Structure 1
Amino acid sequence: MEIIGRVEEVGLTDLGVPLIDAKTDTGAYTSSLHCHDIRVIEEDGKQLLCFSILDPTHDDYQEKEYCLEEFSQAKVRSSNGLTQTRYKIKTRVRIGRSDYKTFFTLTDRKDMRFPILLGRKLLSKRFLVDCSQTYLLPLPKKKKL
C-alpha cells in the first residue's frame, strides 16, 4: 500500500482534466467532484448527464461541458447530516502514477477549499492516509492524460 497525504494532486484521465488538488476523506464513502450546471437532457432519445467541472471562479476552470450517457443517482449524506440525491459517474482518476476507475458524485463544492474529495471506497486497500502530510505521491505524468 502507498502512503498518501491529506491532499494530493490528481488527474481525471477520461475527462482530460490534468491536475487538481484533491482532499482525502476517509469519512466519505464515495468520491466527490465539484461541478456546476449539472443537468439531464434528452438527445436522440437518450438521456445525457451534462455538467461543467469546477466553476468560473476557479483558477483551473476550462469552460468545457461534458455530456455522458452512463450515469446514475445516489443518496448521499453530507457533512451537515442532510441527505441529498446526487448524480454519479464512473471515471478514471490518476493518483501518483496509477489510474483507478471509480465513482464520483457530482456536486457544487464552490464554498469548499478542495474541488475533489477522494472517498474511502477508492482509498481502501490501496492507500494508507497520513493526515499530517500533503503531496506525498509523485505527480502524474501530464502527457498521458
Structure 2
Amino acid sequence: MEKKIIGRREKISIPEFGLNLVWAKVDTGAYTSSIHAENIKVVEEDGKRILTFQVLMPGLRGYTGEVLRYENFREKSVKNSFGQAEIRYLIEIGFKFAGEEYTAEFTLSDRSSMRNSILLGRKILFKRFLVDVSGYNLAKIYRQKKAVK
C-alpha cells in the first residue's frame, strides 16, 4: 500500500461531532490521538456508566456546545506533554481524513493551552502516511482526488 504524504497540520472531519475540516496537529511523538474536551463527567443512568463531555472550546470554529454521550469508553493511563502519567477517558471515533474514512481511539484531554484542539498520533498514522514537517494541509490533494472520481 502506498503511503500518503501529509504535513504537520491537517484538516479532518468528524461527522458524529458535526465537525467539518477542522485543524489537527500531526504528532509522531504521541502514540494515541487526542481531542480537546470540557465538562467531562461520568454519570450513572439505569445502572450504566455514561461518559458526557463537550468537544473543542467556545469561540473555536466548529464549536457547538452540544453535550455528547458515550456508553462505550474506557480509561487509559497516558503520559502528558510534561511526561507525567495521568488517567484519561478513551473513545473510538470515526473521522474523514485525506480522502478516506478511518476509526481511531482518541483520548479526551484539556488541550486549551495547546495550539491545536485535535492531535493525530502515530497509531493512526502507522503504515498509512509519511509526514513532511515542512508542509501543512498537504492531505487536501487526496480529498480533491476523491471528489473528482
TM-score by length of 1: 0.92
Percent identity, please: 43
Would you say 1:24 and 2:26 are equivalent positions?
A: yes
Q: What is the alpha-carbon distance in structure 1 between the residues aligned to residue 43 and residue 107 of structure 2? A: 18
SS of residue in 2 equivalent to 1:14: helix
Q: What is the alpha-carbon distance in structure 1 between the residues aligned to residue 16 and residue 98 of structure 2? A: 16
CA RMSD of aligned residues (A): 1.4
**1:16 Cα shift?**
2.8
**Structure number, greater radius of gyration:** 2
Q: What is the alpha-carbon distance in structure 1 between the residues aligned to residue 118 and residue 27 of structure 2? A: 10
Aligned to 1:97: 99
- Compared CA separation, residues 61 and 14, structure 1 to 2 (3 A): closer
Aligned to 2:130: 128
- Post-superposition, which runs of at least 4 consecutive aligned residues in structure 1 deviate over 4 A? none
Q: What is the alpha-carbon distance in structure 2 between the residues aligned to residue 65 and residue 129 of structure 1? A: 33
Aligned to 2:82: 80
The runs of 5 or more residues in structure 2 that have no matched partner are: 145-149
The runs of 5 or more residues in structure 1 that have no matched partner are: none
Q: What is the alpha-carbon distance in structure 1 between the residues aligned to residue 45 and residue 20 of structure 2? A: 29
**1:20 Cα shift?**
1.3
Number of equivalences: 141
**1:22 Cα shift?**
0.2
User: What is the letter of the counterpart of residue 15 of structure 2?
Assistant: T
Per-residue Cα deviation, 1:17-48 (whole angstroms, up to 9, x for no partner): 22210000000000000110011011122111
Q: What is the alpha-carbon distance in structure 2 between the residues aligned to residue 46 and residue 32 of structure 1? A: 25
**1:13 Cα shift?**
2.9
Per-residue Cα deviation, 1:57-116 (whole angstroms, up to 9, x for no partner): 423311111001000010010121111100000011211211111000000101110000
Aligned to 2:147: none
* CA contact 2:20–2:62 (8 Å) conserved in 1: no
**1:136 Cα shift?**
0.5
Aligned to 1:15: 17
SS of residue in 1 equivalent to 2:26: strand
Q: What is the alpha-carbon distance in structure 2 between the residues aligned to residue 95 and residue 39 of structure 1? A: 29
**1:128 Cα shift?**
0.4
| Greater fraction helix | 2
Q: What is the alpha-carbon distance in structure 1 between the residues aligned to residue 52 and residue 19 of structure 2? A: 16
User: What is the letter of the counterpart of residue 30 of structure 1?
Assistant: T
